[in-house]
Amino acid sequence: MTVSIIIPCHNESGNLETLYTRIRAVMEQTGESWEMICVNDGSSDDTLLQLIALHSQDKRVKIIDLSRNFGKEAALTAGLDATLSDAAIPLDADLQDPPELIPELLAQWREGFDVVNAVRLSRTGESWLKRASAHVFYRIVNRMSEVEIPPDTGDFRLLSRPVLDALQALPERRRFMKGLFAWVGFRSTNIYYHRAPRHSGKTTWNYWQLWNFAVEGITSFSQVPLQLAAYLGFLVSLLAFLYAIWLIISTIVYGNPVKGYPSIMVTLLFLSGVQLMALGVIGEYLGRIYEESKQRPVYLVKQAWGMVNAPNTILA
């Protein structure tokens, strides 16, 4: 059995040495044959040089160098596409996902589970706002979508070969990985851990990116907002209709003392607000259809080290 540990790396030079040492120590205990597939996602520091140094020292460290920064989801996809192993474990390079948990993941896999999620019991070193917004996000997305995306689970998990094959077969370009992991299904189980703060460097996600990530998650896995826009429009029209009847009756009963200005303005502004909102929701989805219809690859590989199978390689 072989196990691939898939590590998206964006400006992680301060972490790689420790990461490698800890992974090696852990994997040597397990007795499985293993490899680290490090995906360099357009780092501007010396991440790539460090990876090459590790590779020349230990051939189990393999490198996929993307042609630019494609974002974490794309980097992860690149690693998952390339692995030929019996199981893969996506892991953050910043050591927030402790490699020491890998034996537990492997144990559940040997029990016959295809997906083993590592669920965070706590997240130290992350701001209150980030934790709270993540909490709200999972509640919302799970209310709205048909697949249950396990809350408090990052990308750190074990995926068996059948799951990897299923993921590789999914054609979509916009890859909200947590959702796709849940969507493919298979027999899954959880293990629990306390999430550590970043070992070195700082997070590259700001709140605007997190917000966009949340919109991505919701629109990729739910059509409720689209339907909501329609229902809201219907409700508003109904209210406007009732209001119109009331106006007619009151004119007949009380006469018309030319006082319509406020009611016209209120109705007008309210309705245009609702229309803009509905258009915005449609725009979100339309943008995604546009993106998919371009059929561009999710990532491009500039060069690879030690990889037998690196799809989308543009340079030999």
Given the rule CB under 5 A, which residues bind Mg ion?
92, 94, 96
> For residues 118 and 281, which CB has a smaller minimum distance to Mg ion in the complex?
118
In whole angstroms, the minimum distance from the beta carbon of 289 to Mg ion comes to: 31
Nearer to Mg ion by Cβ, of 92 and 155: the residue is 92
Of 4-12, 157-165, 218-226, 277-285, which part binds ligand UDP (CB under 6 A)? 4-12
Which of ligand UDP, Mg ion, none has residue 12 at its interface (CB below 5 to 8 Å by kind)? ligand UDP
Q: Which amino acid is at 106?
A: L
How many CB atoms neighbour CB 304 within 10 A? 22
Distance CA 111, CA 194 (A): 23
- Among 71, 90, 99, 306, which residue sits at the site for ligand UDP (rule: CB under 6 A)? 71
Supply the minimum distance, in Å, between the C-beta of residue 96 and Mg ion: 4
Shortest distance (Å) from residue 90 CB to ligand UDP:
9
3-class secondary structure for 138-200? HHHHHHHCCCCCCCCEEEEEEEEHHHHHHHHHCCCCCCCHHHHHHHHCCCEEEEEEEECCCCC
d(CA 228, CA 98): 41
Q: Pull the structure tokens for residue 121.
A: 């019991």
Q: Does 153 engage in binding with ligand UDP (CB under 6 A)?
A: no
Nearer to ligand UDP, 203 or 312 (CB): 203
Phi and psi at 161, nearest 5°, equal -50, -50
8 near ligand UDP, rule: CB under 6 A: yes
Selected from 30, 153, 190, 204, the binder of ligand UDP by CB under 6 A is 204
Query: By CB under 6 A, what part of segment 14-43 binds ligand UDP?
Result: 41
- Pick from 241, 115, 122, 119: which is nearest to 167 by CA? 115
Token pair of 143 as six digits: 């209310």
Residues at the interface with ligand UDP (CB under 6 A): 8-10, 12, 41, 69, 71-72, 75, 92-94, 96, 203-205
